[in-house]
Amino acid sequence: MIVPLPQLLAVSAGLFAIGLFGALTRKNAIGILMSIELILNSANLNLVAFNRIWGEPSGLGQVMALFVIGTAAGGAVVGLALILTIFRHRQTISADEIKLLKG
């Protein structure tokens, strides 16, 4: 079986685009979080694919992917904690009703 690199990368590009769209449009904060996970996965896919094709012996790409997964887990935890707290205070997790950043 041959995994053609361009096609694989195209899948990752699709994942990225979909994730981006979700992050930009979802009203629900948890939805945004999930979209971001998609984006991260698309990046991971690229890392692993390039690692495979150039055969870096120490497995740099895979290591980085592992780190990304780790940080993503952390991010998800903190993000969810934030969302829960905001929800507790405001009874909403709709991103366009949260304007803490408005100057």
Partner 1 sequence: MFAMSPGNPSIGPLDLAARAAFYGVACATLIGAAITVTARNLFRAALGLALALFGVAVLYLFLEAEFLAVSQLLIYVGAILTLIIFGVMLTAQIASPTQPRFNRQAGISLALALAVGLGLGWIFLTSGWPSPSPKEPPPAPVPLSALGRSLISIYLLPFELLSILLLGTLVGAIVIARKEKDPE
Partner 2 sequence: MCLVVTVVGWLIMLYSIGYMGGDPRFSRFFAYLSLFFFAMLTLVLAGDLLLLYIGWEGVGLCSYLLISFWFEKPAAANAGKKAFLTTRVGDLGLLAGILLIAKRAGDLSLTNLAAKGAALGGWAPAAALLIFWGAAGKSAQFPLHVWLPDAMEGPTPVSALIHAATMVAAGVYLVARTLPLFLPNPNALLAVATIGGITSFFAATIACTQTDLKRILAYSTISQLGFMMMGLGAGSAFAGIFHLVTHAWFKALLFLGAGSVIHAVHHQDVTRMGGLWRSMPVTALTFTVAAIAMAGIPPLSGFWSKEEILRRLAGSGPPFLILGLSIAFLTAFYITRAVVLTFAGKPHVIPANAHPHESPLVMTIPLILLMLGAIGIGFIGTEFAGHRFQHFLGIETGAAHQEHGPAWIQLAAIGVAVGGIALAILRYGLGRQLAPARVRGSLSWAYRIVSNKYYIDELYDRLIIRPVLALARSAFSFDAGVIDGAVNETGNAGLALSRVKGWIDQRIVDGAVNAAAAAVGRTGAALRLIQTGLVQNYLLIAAAGTLTLFAVLRWLS
Query: Interface with partner 2 by CB under 8 A: which residues?
Result: 20, 23-25, 32, 95-96, 98-103
- Least separation in angstroms between residue 29's CB and partner 2 is 9
Question: In terms of Cα–Cα distance, which of 4, 2, 13 is closest to 46?
Answer: 13
Q: Measured over all CA atoms, what is the biggest interatomic distance in the chain, rounded to whole angstroms? A: 55
CA-based torsion, 20, 52, 3, 69: positive or negative: negative
**Token pair of 46, please?**
């690229």
- Least separation in angstroms between residue 61's CB and partner 1 is 8
Give the total residue count for the chain: 103
Residue 14 interacts with partner 1 (CB under 8 A): yes or no: yes
CB-wise, 34 or 103, nearer to partner 1? 34
Find which of partner 2, partner 1, none residue 13 binds, CB within 5 to 8 Å per kind: partner 1
